[in-house]
A = this chain, B = another copy of it.
Amino acid sequence: MTSSDPHAPHCHNVPGDKSAVQPDKKRLVSRLNRIEGQVRGIARMVDEDRYCVDILTQLGAIRAALDGVAMQLLENHANGCVAKAIGAGNGEDAIAELMDVVRKLKS
């Protein structure tokens, strides 16, 4: 089931040795590189005495971009690692861990 889902990361989930190959790794890394550049741009705006509201508007855009990456990773995780754990009979722990992350991201 999960192996045929192109959106699912390839999960390796042994206690003490967890890893996940994101299916859209290249695109995720390039989104993060762009966000990194945007944060650098904010630092420059502050340094160049740009108007507060312009900086804050830009900060709002970065926040939205970061949240987009987080949602993508969360979905990858749910479709991949959680689904795999369920198949292996470790669904309860995986779901508890998932809820834990959701709680952290919400606040």
Contacts and interface: CB of A to CB of B under 8 A. Distances in A.
Copies per complex?
4
Given A32-B39, A95-B82, A66 B77 contact: no
B81 A52 contact: yes
Given A1-B92, A19-B51, A56-B101, A46 B32 contact: yes
Given A78-B95, A104-B56, A47 B29 contact: yes
A97 B62 CA distance: 20
Nearest to A61: B104
B99 A78 contact: yes
A101 to B, nearest CB: 5
Contact of A35 (B13, B39, B87, B104): B39
A67 to B, nearest CB: 7
A104 B74 contact: no
Contacts of A89: 1
A54 B77 CA distance: 11
